[in-house]
Amino acid sequence: MDQETTAPDDAGKEAEALELSVTRFIAAPPERVWHVLIERQEEWWCPRPWRMRIDERECRAGGRCRTTMLGPEGEVIAQDGLFLAFEEGRMFATTDAISGDLRPARPFMIGIWEIAPEGEGTRYTGRARHWNAEDKRAHEEMGFTQGWNAVAEQLAALCEEAGENG
């Protein structure tokens, strides 16, 4: 039985080739960054002037993750998916490949948001892993770098402001 397999190193390289990411140092302790990341998500998730509304969220692996992005000119983009992973204080990952009611959906990406202590602050990283090169390219053309850097900046400002205000 001849089967082609992908070596672990090759699989890692393939995944990297389909990933977009942003990273930012945040001058706040990881506990504060995590709190803002989760508890104030509606305030930083979309680049302004867009907003995000959490419609349903179960912060656990397998939990539902349903949100709506609201644009400045009445745009409404509903997103329904699942948490693939949720590690309190460290990271969470979601996908739109399966809806919250366990129906297959047209997959676009797996999103991964991570934080880690770094010196006197926190390293934030947001990743978007795509199923294919076309989806990655489409995400780049939609403004991934500009948009995800904007939300990282918004997240940082909230975290750093929280430190100044207690």
Q: Is 66 helix (H, G, I), strand (E, B) or coil?
A: strand
118 contacts: CB under 8 Å, gap ≥ 6: 25
Find the CATH number of the domain harbouring 113: 3.30.530.20
Under 8 Å between Cβ of 77 and 50: no
In a domain, 148, yes or no: yes
In a domain, 33, yes or no: yes
* pLDDT exceeds cutoff 90 at 143: yes
Give the residue with greater pLDDT, 10 vs 138: 138
Q: Domains in the chain: how many in total?
A: 1
Give the residue with greater pLDDT, 108 vs 58: 58
In a domain, 2, yes or no: no
Residue bearing tokens 């644009």? 71
In a domain, 52, yes or no: yes
In a domain, 38, yes or no: yes
Residue bearing tokens 């699989």? 11
pLDDT value of position 97: 84
In a domain, 6, yes or no: no
Of all residues in the chain, the percent with pLDDT exceeding 90 is 76
Element (H, E) at 95: strand 91-95
